[in-house]
Chain A
Amino acid sequence: MVREFKLPDVGEGVAEGEIVQWLVSEGDEVSEDQPVAEVETDKAVVEVPSPVDGSVKEILAEEGEVVPVGNVIITFAVEGEEEETAESEAPTHSQERVSEEPAEIGEEDETETPAGRTFAPPNVRRLARELGVDISSVSGSGPSGRVTEGDVREAAEGGNEETKGPKQLDEGLPSATRKAGEEGGSATGADTADLESADRDRTLAAPATRKLAEEEGVDLNRVPTDEERDGEAFVTPEAVRQYATAQREAQAADAAAVAESGTEASTGGEPTGSEERLPYRGIRRTIGRQMANSKFTAPHVSHHDTADVKRLVEARADLKDRAEDRGVKLTYMPFIMKAIVAALKEFPELNASLDEEAEEIVVKHYYNIGIAVATDAGLMVPVVRNVDEKGLLQLASEVNELAQKARERSISREEMQGGTFTITNFGAIGGEYATPIINHPEVGILGLGKLTERPVAEDGEVRAAHTLPLSLSIDHRVIDGAEAAMFANRVIEYLENPTLLLLE
């Protein structure tokens, strides 16, 4: 009998995953729980295990393919088992999910219309009831956001909350294989154009204008216009020509700029061949989405200062060898974590998150510090738990271990969750100040510049001193600049006098 296997919900609220690698081939014998594929989802690569003993009948997704949760990715031949179709499996599965995590499905009401109305045909409404899905929480992918049968099935599989996001992104995103310049009015070109691009849902234009736009490769909804017909934007042939020209000029300028900057571009003027389009998905897209979400949700204010860390450098130098004897590489990070936790205890509002829905500020009385780590795949933030309860050596080894795991991408989702405050150490690569983006829904993040000798003026003299530039970003909805400054001052105080940490 054939057993279909659907891409499971590999992490909370994940809507889709990229098949990184198949670990089996068609015809292979597999045993239950044997990993059959590596799937990259949110911030982790997850191994998907076989649910049965049997053999691989058919592999239905290619490596590199992005598959929505719930799609059949592989089929197994199982001896003696009754055939079980995807359909017969669906209701029980969905009911389980609903009862397990009711909040998850009910949380987002993206499709909610003014009257609390969800637009879906009766057969889809019935399906939703049958699958135990609250239709008002399902994002519609149909015309004007109408909820379709597929949307409901997807929601039943548990991955719906984000469907709207990724789907829209996908539509607007270039595919990996699309050639540059294939679509004249692409976002890249438009952004740099002198003539600012519009982005309407509907545009009125005469058929001849539509034809012209097609010929020019221009998306009518992007053509700026002041004209209106019955309250709808109306585009004339002149506007289309003007926009198309501006687009071409902008693209040429882009290409020229790339060529000038000495990168791969070999031909000036013609955009074709001077661009490369990479898929924006997986971890990169997740990072992007989270950054955008944080940046556009929390009004960021950044506070910059510099600590004179002479004594910290000495303290570390004293302890480094002893730590090494115990097999631990002691960096500055554990000191900084301790300093931050000590300061957070005095300014607890920075160790908090904002529960927007409940309109409550959640102040945490535990100290889980996230450490942003740059990896080949992008930024990851492993979390060191209960920093206040741990010694320098333990912190050092935990940070090292987590960073290593992140770089190897063997880190689990759990190890990246539950942070209360984040540190980002861009100074490890170089540089002084930056604007760190808050790890939403936390309310603060401290960025570390490069710890190095810099000139410091003291009593009218300039001397060389080890200094550490600090960049603190805070969510101004929750924290004011004064508090941020006081918090930073306290962190600096601890970093400049590390012995104070002994009192903690």
Chain B
Amino acid sequence: MVVGDIATGTDVLVIGAGPGGYVAAIRAGQLDLDVTLVEKDAYGGTCLNHGCIPSKALITATGVAHEAGNAEAMGIHADPAIDMGGMMEWKDGVVDQLTGGVEKLCKANGVNLVEGIAEFDGENRARVAHGGDGQGSESIEFEHAIVATGSRPVEIPGFEFDGERVVSSREALSLESVPDSLVIVGAGYIGMELAGVFAKLGTDVTVVEMLDEALVGFADDLAKPVVDGMEDLGVEIRLGEAASDWEETGDGISVTTETDEGEETNYDCEKVLVAVGRQPVTDTLNLEAIGLEPDENGFLQTDDRARTDVENVFAVGDVAGEPMLAHKGMKEGQVAAEVVAGEASALDYQAVPAAVFTEPEIGTVGMTEAEAEEAGFEPAVGQMPFRASGRALTTGHTDGFVRIVADAESGFVLGGQIVGPEASELIAEIGLAIELGATLEDVAATIHTHPTLSEAVHEAAENALGHAIHTLNR
């Protein structure tokens, strides 16, 4: 502590203004707690500034261009020209509007905003170092702290991010010009989403993946339409190849990959984008000062009240463990604030949905058939292919299906997997069914608007019950 330093007191110190942190801060403010929110960079965190929002903005923009240019079947002949600067400007406008909104909401809910990097300085004290030389620092004394420092992209040896040749998703979302060619390391959801973006921009994209499958963690039948879709866009996907090295060539770089057998391949490209995952940011917090130690993966262990092992310290969002998803962090932030305020809040959701914004999209929630079986249920499964959906036909996107998994005995919906148009939106209905304890019959008995894609959810439920009209019952 600096001699003569006077600490500001607060009920709740929230460290990090991403989806977990700003939700915690706003909720705590709503509950009449004195809240201080410390952010080092920009309100909204990775999600708003360098992740979900800018990537979805670009996915939409490039999607519009691609659609327009490939709509001959609909009688549309167009050759869209992409003004990369304009597209980035539009995307930045979206981001600015949202981050500005977060800041306004925080202020409107009485949250004290502090810019800087916070680290713990004792059980009830933190220091915030303000950015820039000579900006100084200040101490904050807190009753409760909510750690929401998020995550950063993982680097792999030999591929340190330089922002020029070797970029992370963050830089990739802010490129000023369209690269001619791009090697993406990692065929996870970030890699695949960005592969789609750049392919639609006309970049020659190669995805290299160390594992033998793309989109690991998603069922094969969900991943396959995406891989097919990417290949249709001209993306080359190389599985079982680990990026081992890169070197400058005349006007670009050459990325070397290696198989398990030691077979090497070189890919010439303009840039390499490394998207092999994200790691929690816990190393900037001086956790020893409060007696907390992250686990071997850097995560802070929490209970169902978002508490860490230290009673007055909570952790939410990416630092609190997998799945690293903004909506999970938001829920945790809300719960942490409510628990601090003494409410009977808890993380007792039944399922966390996930979405991949590729073409086609993937949306999942709850259990797969195999997981339901493993959990001891006798699963009843219903499926509806989009090619049998009137609305899907009218959008020109008929790849994929909706699958609903339920307990055969009670009919309770346990999970759903969707691959296809608007899967990210459609999955919400199944999520709601799971949380409400709705049965297949409940879903089947609910009238869905015609003609919409959501009818596929209805049909899948009917299919599981054995009386689907528009598909053959299994």
Contact = CB atoms under 8 A, between A and B. Distances in A.
Interface of A: 113-115, 117, 119-122, 125-126, 129-130, 142-147, 204, 229-232
Interface residues on B, range: 20 to 34
B-side interface mostly:
loop
Nearest to B377: A114
B346 interface: yes
Given A145-B410, A232-B466, A115 B437 contact: no
Interface in B227-286: none
B435 A129 contact: no
19 contacts: A115-B377, A117-B350, A119-B437, A120-B437, A121-B436, A122-B348, A122-B349, A126-B345, A129-B345, A129-B346, A142-B437, A144-B411, A144-B439, A145-B410, A147-B437, A204-B466, A230-B466, A230-B473, A231-B466
B344 A130 contact: yes
B410 A144 contact: yes
B407 interface: yes
Interface string B101-137: 0000000000000000000000000000000000000
Contacts of A122: 348-349, 435-436
B52 to A, nearest CB: 24
Interface in B400-428: 407-408, 410-412
B466 A119 contact: no
Contact of A121 (B410, B435, B474): B435
From B348, B442, B474, residue with most partner A Cβ within 10 Å: B348
A147 B442 CA distance: 16
A366 B282 CA distance: 62
- For B410, B411, B437, the residue with the greatest tally of chain A CB atoms inside 10 Å of its CB is B437
Contact of B344 (A129, A142, A229, A231): A129
Contacts of B407: 113
B463 to A, nearest CB: 10
B81 interface: no
B447 interface: no
Contact of A229 (B437, B442, B466): B466
A214 to B, nearest CB: 20
Nearest to A147: B437
B412 A119 contact: yes
B70 to A, nearest CB: 41
A117 B436 CA distance: 13
Given A117-B350, A230-B466, A126 B344 contact: yes
> Which A-B residue pairs are the 4 nearest by beta carbons?
A114-B376, A119-B437, A115-B375, A230-B466
Contacts of B473: 230
Nearest to A144: B410
Interface in B367-396: 375-377
Query: Chain B CB within 10 Å — which of A114, A119, A229 has the most?
Result: A119
Nearest to B435: A122
Nearest to A202: B411
A120 B473 CA distance: 29
B438 to A, nearest CB: 9
B349 to A, nearest CB: 8
Contacts of B408: 231
A232 B411 CA distance: 13
A125 B473 CA distance: 35
A229 B344 CA distance: 46
B428 to A, nearest CB: 14
Nearest to B367: A115
Given A114-B375, A122-B349, 10 more contacts: A113-B407, A113-B412, A119-B410, A121-B435, A122-B436, A126-B345, A144-B411, A146-B437, A204-B466, A230-B474
A147 B410 CA distance: 13
A126 B349 CA distance: 11
Contacts of A121: 435-437
A121 B345 CA distance: 14
Contacts of A114: 375-377
